[in-house]
Structure 1
């Protein structure tokens, strides 16, 4: 039991960070998949255009969720810098989705809704691995000074 406790203490911040990242990612995935299907099936846009639209919207949501919840304890190096890098890295991750959907649709000739969605899931999965690594490395940097959990003066009552 002591081994489990030590492992938890050692990796608790990583576990919490991954849980938050996964939660934001799950909601962004629902947004991405919903918009992909809406644009492709309901509106009639092509699968690649639909993926592009869905990714722009879901990426904006993911940036806000990751900046202000998942990685809020990390250094804030400027909204413009972070947002630019976030979208640049998501553009690279988007290539995983575009390649998977493009291969499925145009190489294999499978353009039904199920095939496009399966290709999207594969692309999102590969892109998610790249995004988590790249966000920690380039976007949401380690804090150089500890970030306070509470505002100064909160949590301590001083009776006079």
Structure 2
């Protein structure tokens, strides 16, 4: 589910929300993906127009989730997930890089979430986007939490998330 991609919001192995405001108190492994990113960075660059279109789609994601707007979410995903009525943290998609892949476009972004108590979590988001009659839409999404929980992507191992 899109809204529960960072399960626990820094809880596994770290401090629960409402506890720590100093990063020195958070004891959570940070998952990094240098080999996977290097492979992504070597892909052909998207055009400026494609990159701008993808940035707009991914910006809509945060607005759709934060405002529980199912109609707006349909402008993000080919097959939009159902929104949960539960309160979720604020979503911010940053540092997006867009590349060309055989299936369309791939985007690597950083997702930062901020909970109501001020706790923060981040993830690497790898999207594969397909061009539809209504514009670019996310066809497949892989969310890899940077802090806490098991790694989702084995760095440099197996099939690339955008393959």
Which band: TM-score by shorter chain? under 0.3
Which of these two proteins has the greater Rg computed from alpha carbons?
Answer: 1
The TM-score with structure 2 as length reference comes to 0.25
Flag the structure with higher helix content: 1
Flag the structure with higher strand content: 2
The TM-score with structure 1 as length reference comes to 0.26
**Bigger relative contact order, structure 1 or 2, given CA contacts below 8 A and separation 6+?**
2
